[in-house]
Homo-oligomer: A and B are copies of this chain.
Amino acid sequence: MLSKKTQYAFRALTDLAENYGKGPIHICDIASRKNIPLKFLENILNELKKSDFLESKKGKGGGYVLKHSPKKINLAAVIRIINGPIALLPCVSLNFYRRCEDCNEENCGLRRVMAMTRDATLKILEKKTLQDILSGERLII
- What is the total number of copies of this protein in its complex? 2
Which of B1, B34, B121 has a CB less than 8 Å from the CB of A84?
Answer: B1
A109-B125 contact given A35-B102, A89-B2, A89-B7, CB 8 Å threshold: no
In the bound assembly, the distance between CA atoms of A38 and B25 in angstroms comes to 54
* Residues of A in contact with B (beta carbons under 8 Å apart): 1-2, 7, 10-11, 14, 34-35, 75, 84-85, 87-90, 100, 102-104, 107-110, 112-113, 116-117, 120-121, 123-125, 128, 132-135, 137, 139, 141
Contact A125 B102 (CB under 8 A): no
12 further contact pairs, Cβ within 8 A, besides A1-B87, A113-B125: A1-B85, A1-B90, A2-B88, A14-B110, A35-B102, A75-B113, A107-B135, A108-B133, A113-B132, A113-B133, A117-B124, A120-B120
